[in-house]
Amino acid sequence: MLKRTRGSKWSLLIMRGADRNVRQFQVSRRSIIAAPAVAVLAVSGCIAGLQFRSAYHLHLTEQTLATQRASFAQNVQAKDKKVALLQQEIDRLKQQTSDMEDKLTDLQELEAKLKQFTDAYSSTVHQSAPVQAPEQSITNDSYSPTKEAHRMIKLAMESKLDFRAFSSLIDTMAETMTASLKRDQLRRAEQAAIPSGWPTRSHMLTSGFGYRTDPFTGRSTFHAGIDIAGKQGDAVIAAADGVVLETGTNDSKGNYIIIKHTKNLKTTYYHLKRIVVNRNDIVVRGEKIGLLGSTGRSTAPHLHFQIMQEDEPVNPFNYLRLVKED
């Protein structure tokens, strides 16, 4: 029980039972008034301490989150960079693949040209002694450069070979094929310029190469070519590829044509009924150049055919194919 005493103090009596002593405490008025304020201040201090602690922990948490965000951003940036590099590598490989496909297409076209050229001229090799066949003929039955290139691409993909090295290999193959085609074309052109083609449809010989009895004088004279009988107006064709060097007419040769084939080979065609080519025309073997006739010093329709080597007449049968008459 609280009992007010005189003055500014209060007495606090504590009674714990009938047989126990009573205790008395005196408390000043100020203490009683100040006690609640102290309690309020203490509670406020505790609350302030808790708030400070919470703010500190919140600050630490925010710092940790900021560090984690920065690290995450760096990781994302690094991964984006790797993705960009991988995309660049993919684009580079796509471009290399596209380039190789283009090169393979070119290689296939070159192979087709080579095969077409070889097939077109496979039957033009002369069988007589002066015309020698090439040591090797180019065929594509058992070997295909493009098939080989495709096989090598598969090998490159499986073994991760350097695409640049493989591309260089394809370039080398293309260069080799181009060189082979050029060599074969040159060889075929040389063969096509050899007068091995028969100059008329008829193969009826009336006079051979060498000494004979002249039909006009009856004397033995040298005949510098061969005479092939035929019908008036039959086609006369070029014996080989070449350039028309001269055309004209005179009392002995009649209407005539001279064709230059190589540096040292020429063919002449005499006694023509008509000339259908002009000087400097380019002709190919089998092309019609005139009509068979009997102009000039002639006794009947025929073609006087002559081959000149180094401006000297040679036996045409050294070059002409032995062809059966149709």
Output the pLDDT for position 130: 40
Place of tokens 């066949």: 133
Phi and psi, residue 51, nearest 5°: -65, -40
Closest CA to 264 of 307, 315, 225, 320: 307
Domain boundaries, the chain: 2-83, 89-192, 204-318
Give the 3-state secondary structure of residue 212. Answer: strand
Measure the CA–CA gap between 96 and 288, rounded to whole angstroms: 52
- Please give the torsion angle defined by the CA atoms of residues 48, 52, 58 and 63, in that order, rounded to the nearest 10 degrees: 160
In DSSP terms, 255 is beta-bridged to 249, 272
For 33, the token pair is: 């008034």
Measure the CA–CA gap between 225 and 295, rounded to whole angstroms: 17
- pLDDT tens sequence across 23-70: 776 767 677 677 777 788 888 888 888 888 888 888 888 888 888 888
The amino acid that residue 179 corresponds to is A
One CATH from 2.60.40.1220, 1.20.1250.20, 2.70.70.10, 3.20.20.140 for 204-318? 2.70.70.10
Distances (CA, A) of 46 to 39, 55, 123, 230: 11, 14, 115, 138
How would residue 323 be classed by pLDDT, with cut points 50, 70 and 90?
very low
The amino acid that residue 178 corresponds to is T
- pLDDT tens sequence across 76-124: 888 888 888 888 877 877 777 777 777 777 777 777 766 666 666 555 4
DSSP H/E element including 174: helix 163-192
pTM value is 0.50
Distances (CA, A) of 131 to 124, 192, 194, 195: 11, 10, 8, 10
- pLDDT tens sequence across 226-261: 999 999 999 999 999 999 999 999 999 999 999 999
